[in-house]
Each structure stands twice: as structure tokens, then as C-alpha cells.
Structure 1
């Protein structure tokens, strides 16, 4: 098969479409013929040599895909050759085929085209597990989302709206502000012009920035607030005012998906299918797709992501 290979750490130009050995499913795994994948910020970090795959995972980037099951290993129940599916991956999405534990495979929601389904696994599993399972966002609470126009942000807006939360997002342009409001955001803060910590008090904050925003995130929390850190675009270190955290009886939770055990990912996937898929099928929640790029031109897709002008997901389609 062919796959994107990272020839060396560096810029988008190090991504090369090459012939590599076909993956073979083992016990508890399925082989998917990939129709589409999607670009995530973690793929950029891996390309730069800053985010290695978990032990045992393929070096091929790509944390999600959609496609058709081509083979099924021993001990797999409920999945058959020919099923149209999407999947949460530890890697391998930038390829023609991928092997994945069956627990991380999801049916394509009714009404969603197979290619567009590739935009769903990473964002739905991240937002659902962090905002709703970990932070326990409740109806009537305020959610602050940094990077509201990102793939994660556009999904967080829609899910928070569907469950009755008040949603505030940060963006960097008027165009992105309009798109977020159209998706259901209640308030938008342009971080280039305003300090979010002076504008909002949130019960839950979903943060992709990390160290740079840590002090102001704590300032922006309500009593009993929950800060969820899922990214490090603003660095790995920040000053934490523990006194403020204690006074607010607040908590900080930092976590990702990629390195979790299969059993944990499987539990998240099942919860997403149960709680999020009905919203997708009803049209209340939809994948937000900015562009489709041929999978062998992944370097172009990475340039697009790093330019910062996108809203939603960038797909890699075969």
C-alpha cells in the first residue's frame, strides 16, 4: 500500500507519499480500506519531531479515518467485512489501509457521507470525553472554548448548545467570529483585541493553548470551575496561582486521547456512539469541513492548517 512517510523532522515538505508494507490485522483488530482521514494539530507536532506515537503504534501519522472494513481478526464481534465505519486511531490514518482495535471503530452516523465521517472521530471523542465525561458540563453552565473556529472548537460549540450550556469562544478574526456565532456560540471574544479573563467567568474551560493561558484561565474560572487542558500551542510551562485555585475550589485536568489504553478509548467511543451520534443523525450536530485535499498532498493540508485561516476540519481524501 501507499502511505505518508515523515522522512525527517521538519516542515510540511518532509511528508512523502511512499510504498510501505501492508498492515495485517491481529486478534481483536480490523483492517480498514481508508476513504478519508483528517489533519490534526498532533500530526503537525509529530511531523516536527515533538510528539512521538505511543509504543507499538505505526509511525504513519493520522489519528482518525473513515472507510470500509476489508478484514477482521479473531475475537472481533459486531463488525464485518464491507461495513462502512469511522475510527479513532493511535496513528496510520494518512494511508490507503490501517489496522485498528475493534473497540475504536464506530458506525458511520446515518445521513453522513462516508468521506465526511472522517471529520468526526477525533473531535467528538475529545470533546465528549473532556467536556462532558471529565468536566461534567451541565445545562445552564458556561463553557469557554479557546480556538472556537478549530475542529475541536466547532464541535464543542455544537455539543454545548445541544446540551443547553452557554458557550463563549475565543477567535482571532471577525470572519471566524461570524462562523462561530452561526454554529451556536453565545459570545465571541477576539483574543487579539480583548482579554478573555476580563470578559467571562466560566464553569468549564476547554484550552488548547497551555502554559501561556494558565494564569488567565484560572482568573476566568467560576467557583467550582474546571479547567481542561488538551493542547500546548502556548508552551508547556505557566505560573499557577494555587491560592486562587483553592479560593475558587477549582480543578485542573490535563489529558489527551492518543496514549490511552484501548479499553479507555473503547469506553469513550461507546459513549460517543450512544450520546453524540443521535445528535449527528438528527442534524443538531454536524461535521464542519473547511477543505478536502488529496491524501498524497498532505504537505499542502499541513500548510493550510498552520496558516491558521481554516474553520473546522481539513480532510485528506483518496
Structure 2
């Protein structure tokens, strides 16, 4: 038990085993309340976002789908989903937001699938909203006080939130959840991700990636296509932008320094790629986001 929050007691099935194998990485956390300006328009981020609503009026649009979350409901915003969040100035929304990733990274889509397994699109209705609210409040208190070791405690509490919401989302449709948990993931994809993550700042090509991962070019393309629905070089570009996003959130490095660190030939190329993906410049992204 951590800060009064019991460990999530999922059944001993394939879903719980897979959750136990994952590590949650917290990128950002915050509490928005009594602020009519706390809105966003056509925003894109590279991680998973969970928004838990305490009250007020919220209008959320995710990939052209309009949602009206109520108090005690959570919204799941997948990576790179275009979304807008609005409110009524007369009754501003009150919510906690949590940005996170999972390791290994190639299983991130699996977690999004489990969080949305209830069939209610991007909305999850927690079975114990007051308990979940208490966990969010505990995270907020830790971040405000920043005691020694607080980041580890925040990670543990964030993991509990993810487990709780996955359990609630999958409880009503266990057959769908089990199917999504099993997935079709190729373990060789983890080998590719690890190499590309280590090689983010290096000049690599298809041949060097294939050789480092112990695969032929054909096998490499098949593994990456099967697990990520993209090509190896596009996957590398994605990882570079994700690393750049983390550096923009958490360091004072200049945009030029970040571009070089993550392997872009020029800051202009980096800014163009980042803006195309996130619909905002690196500098504007840094201004609008803050790290835990």
C-alpha cells in the first residue's frame, strides 16, 4: 500500500501479467481548475494522456469525435491524436492530467487498446472515482513538496492509476480485453527499439540497423511493419522526435542543441519535422508544456 492506495488486484490472467511487465514513465502532470483559459486547440503530443474530471463543463474533440466527459470520468488521448479541449467560462472544467509512456515502448499501443476496450471510445468510467481522485491528489502533493525520492513515488502512483483504469475499461468486455492483451507483438521489435533508442544521435541506415539487430533487411522491414505499421527509418524519426519532446520539457538546451543531440542534420530540418508532427514549433511546444 502506497499513500493509502491499495495495489490493484487484477485477476491472474494475461492482462495482469502484461501490466506487471510494463514500466510507466511519467512525462507531465497537472491540475487545471477555476481557469477558463485552460484549453487547447488542435494539440498533438507524442505520449498517452489521461484526463480525470472532477467537475465543470468540458468539451473534448479527439480526431473529429466530440465527447462531453462528466465528473468522475477519465478521457484517454492516444499518442499523436489531434485533440482540442474546451470549457464553459461560466463553469470551468476541473481536471487532473497525466502524460505518460510505457517501457518497452513498442507495447504502448497495446495499453491504449486496453484503456479503450470498454467500447465507449475514449471515455473510461472508474469503478472507484473517489479512490482514484485520492491518488491524483497524492501525486499533486508529492510534486508540490518534492521530498527525497518523490519521483519514484509519483511513478508508483501513476502506475496504479493506469492499472486501475485498465481494469475498469476491460471489466465489462473481458473477451475483447483478452484478445487485445494477447496482441500480435513480435519480441524482436523490442530489440529494434532498443538499438534505435541508443542510436538516436547517430547516423544510421537500413543496413546498419539490420546488422545490429541480427536480421536481414527483409526481416527488419517485416518486424517493424508488423509491430509499428511503419518503416524502420520512420520509426527512427519518431523516436528522435519523442526524445526531442522530452528534452524540450525537461532541459534548458537550445533548439539547435536538441536538434544535434537527437540526430538531425540541421535545426531547420528538425523544426520542420517537429512542426509537421506536433502542429506547433519546438519553441512553442516548450512554452506550453512543463515536466514533472
TM norm structure 1: 0.24
TM norm structure 2: 0.26
Greater helix proportion: 2
